[in-house]
Amino acid sequence: MDINISTKNFNASDNLISTIEKKLSRLDKFFPGNAETNVTLSAEGSGRQKIETTINAGGQTFRAEETAQDKDIYNSIDRIVDKLSGQMGKQHSKSAYHHKDNKADRFESADGE
């Protein structure tokens, strides 16, 4: 998984960047291979911080965003990973179910010939 992290009006610490990379790498299990992840960290007025994450994997796009107050940014990362995990898991199971039915049809037609 390629992870690109960009910032707007925000200075990300090395610890924050490594935490983001570590937590997002857990999502590799759903679509191993060429998944591209874009993370944008931005600071808004009155101490609010926003994280936007977009993952392009397997021809699908998954997106989540969270807004955090002050030091709550690490909890926001966890919530984003949970949201993306839910989206990717749902799509992965739909895809597996869809392909499961097609395999059965192909083998039945091959045996009948």
Domain with residue 90: its CATH number is 3.30.160.100
63-111 tens-digit pLDDT: 999 998 877 889 999 999 999 999 888 876 766 555 555 555 454 555 5
Looking at the structure of the chain, the number of domains it has is: 1
Is this structure's pTM higher than 0.85?
no
Other beta carbons less than 10 A from residue 32's beta carbon? 10
9-50 tens-digit pLDDT: 888 899 999 999 999 988 888 777 788 999 999 998 888 899
Beta bridge partners of 36: 2, 56
Q: How confident is the model at residue 55, as a pLDDT?
A: 93
Residue (of 79, 70, 24) closest to 43 by Cα position? 70
Q: For residue 25, which amino acid is it?
A: S
Q: How confident is the model at residue 14, as a pLDDT?
A: 93
- The whole-angstrom separation of Cα 15 and Cα 38 is 18
Range of the domain at 77: 2-112
Three-class secondary structure of residue 74 per DSSP: helix
- For residue 31, what are the contacts with CB-CB under 8 A and spacing of at least 6? 57, 58, 60, 88, 92
DSSP 58: T
